[in-house]
Amino acid sequence: MPLQGWRRSSRVVVVRRRVAKDELIGVEYQRGGQQEFAFVEGPEDMPLFEYSILVTSLQDGLVTLMAHYGDRADCENNFDEIKNQWGWGGFVPQQLQTSQFMARTVALIYNWWNLFVRLAIPEKHHEAITSRPLLLSSVGRFSESGRQRRMVITSTHAQTALIRRAYERVHEFFSWLKATAPQLTRHDCWRLIVTKSMEVFMGQGPPQALPLPP
Residues 145 and 64 in one domain: yes
H/E segment holding residue 179: helix 160-180
Residues 40 and 110 in one domain: no
Residues 5 and 90 in one domain: no
Among the candidates 57, 76, 104, a domain finishes at: 57
Question: How would you classify residue 5: left for phi > 0, otherwise alpha for psi between -120 and 50, otherwise beta?
Answer: left
Q: Indicate the SS3 state at residue 132.
A: helix
pLDDT tens across the length of the chain (214 residues) = 456 777 777 788 888 877 776 555 565 656 666 666 655 555 556 677 788 888 888 888 888 888 888 777 777 888 888 888 888 877 777 888 888 888 899 999 999 999 999 999 988 888 889 899 888 888 888 888 888 888 888 888 888 888 889 988 998 998 888 888 788 888 888 888 888 888 887 765 444 444 444 4
Residues 135 and 41 in one domain: no
Question: pLDDT (tens digit, 9 = 90+) per residue, 149-190?
Answer: 888 888 888 888 888 899 889 989 988 888 887 888 888 888
Residues 140 and 204 in one domain: yes
Q: What range does the domain containing 36 cover?
A: 1-57
Q: What is the C-alpha to C-alpha distance for residues 138 and 120, in angstroms, rounded to an integer?
A: 14
Overall number of domains in the chain: 2
Among the candidates 13, 36, 57, a domain finishes at: 57
Question: pLDDT (tens digit, 9 = 90+) per residue, 75-85?
Answer: 788 888 888 88
Residues 52 and 65 in one domain: no
Residues 130 and 89 in one domain: yes
Among the candidates 33, 57, 81, a domain finishes at: 57
